[in-house]
Amino acid sequence: MLNKIGEQGSVILRGVEIATRTLDIDVRTLKFYVDNPRIYSFVRADGVQPTQSDILGKLQTLEHVRELVQDIRANGGLIDPLIVRDGDLVVLEGNSRLAAYHHLIIENPLQWNKVRCTLLPADIDEKSVFALLAQYHVKGKKDWAPYEKAGFVYRRFKNQKVDIPAIAKEIGLTRDEAKHLVAVYEFMIEHGDSDRDRWSYYDEFLKSRKIRKIREEVAGFDDFIVREIQAGHFGKAMELRDKLPVICTANTKIIRRYLDGTYDFAEAHEAAVTAGGENHVLNKLSRFKKWLVEASTEDDMLDAPKPVRDRIQYELKEIEKKSKKYKDLIEAKKGEIDSRLSSSSW
């Protein structure tokens, strides 16, 4: 990404070669980048502008920053320089490493007072900065959490007015992946939740097609699920992913009892399973029946050309025969079970 020629070099951003220079800079003169997606997710998501001390204090609580302290100490310095904007000396890339250096400088001011930096022009525009971050974190090291990545894409789309296809191409995601990140992040904003640790719940909630159907049909369902997520009623996100769609495919009575509090999450899921909400055979039959009874299905059959109608007639006869066979087998099974239960009662 960086082409160094001694102290001089260049970086390619958005197809433009930008001149750089690399040198050692006093750690205490460098500033954290408040719009860095990781910093934003921790100390700026509530809309309050953090101080440099706020940012440093928060970053130094993070486990990966503590690990960086050990790595930098063991290596005797950085492997990759910080990327810094000239003029204001804001660290655009490498804020966690800067936080680690602030820890090390307390240990030994003489050894750790300077850090290797690559300076970008003072007048570099914000879109180029975001393009740089995308190369490092989305296409490159990929060390941002999903919530941080989503916040980056959301602000690129909303604040900088870059359309979704362009963002997707820029950061190596599909259009649908980028669109989903924006949708989930926006959903969290709309529902007043900036807790990055709850990202995976909302991600799964908005991803499921079965859940989407109920969201569209049942007023207040989104707000109810948000309250459930924030109250911790789902355990891990995989429970929401695996069990909530089962509830959403159950009959309306079960869903209503879940919403009005008659059933908690576990009870609603158990009731849905008992009612067949998780059985793929029953689900396939239900979908087939739903299609079969639609008025448009009858119209399509009757309006089909004669050769097609003849084939449809044949298929319906085969379905009728198989349906009768399965119906008789199930009735026999039921009779067998009823007989065993009757005998055991004596």
Instruction: Quote the pLDDT of residue 79.
Output: 83
My answer on whether 172 and 266 are in the same domain is: yes
My answer on whether 77 and 171 are in the same domain is: no
Asked, for residue 279, whether it belongs to a domain, the answer is no
Asked, for residue 93, whether it belongs to a domain, the answer is yes
**Judging by beta carbons within 10 Å of its beta carbon (0-12, 13-18, 19+), is residue 259 exposed, middle or buried?**
middle
Q: What is the DSSP letter of 27?
A: G
Asked, for residue 283, whether it belongs to a domain, the answer is no
Where a domain ends, among 114, 144, 174? 144
Asked, for residue 280, whether it belongs to a domain, the answer is no
Asked, for residue 295, whether it belongs to a domain, the answer is no
Can you give the pLDDT of all 346 residues of the chain as single tens digits?
A: 444 444 788 777 777 788 888 999 999 999 999 877 777 766 655 566 788 888 898 888 888 899 999 999 988 888 889 999 998 999 998 899 999 999 999 989 999 999 999 999 998 888 788 778 777 765 555 467 788 888 888 888 988 888 899 888 877 788 999 999 999 999 999 999 988 889 999 999 999 999 999 999 999 999 999 999 999 999 899 999 999 999 998 888 999 999 999 999 999 999 998 886 555 566 677 778 888 888 888 888 898 899 899 999 999 999 999 888 888 888 887 777 566 656 655 4
- Residue pair 202/229 in contact by the 8 Å Cβ criterion: yes
pTM, full prediction: 0.62
**Domain limits for position 205:** 147-274
Under 8 Å CB-to-CB from 280, ≥6 apart: which residues?
A: none
Q: What's the structural domain count of the chain?
A: 3
Instruction: Quote the pLDDT of residue 129.
Output: 82
CA distances from 96 to 32, 100, 140, 196, 272 (A): 9, 6, 16, 18, 47
Instruction: Quote the pLDDT of residue 9.
Output: 80
Asked, for residue 296, whether it belongs to a domain, the answer is no
In 3D, which of 285, 232, 287, 225 has the Cα closest to residue 258? 225
Q: Return the ∠ at Cα 190 (arms to 186 and 191), rounded to 5°.
A: 120
My answer on whether 177 and 217 are in the same domain is: yes
Q: Structure tokens of 130? A: 């975001």
In 3D, which of 167, 142, 133 has the Cα closest to residue 153? 167
My answer on whether 59 and 135 are in the same domain is: yes
Asked, for residue 223, whether it belongs to a domain, the answer is yes
My answer on whether 36 and 96 are in the same domain is: yes
Q: Structure tokens of 184? A: 């989930």
CA 201/CA 212 separation, integer angstroms? 14
Instruction: Dihedral sign for Cα 275, 279, 282, 286, please.
Output: positive
Grouping H, G, I as helix, E, B as strand and the rest as coil, residue 46 is: coil
My answer on whether 325 and 201 are in the same domain is: no
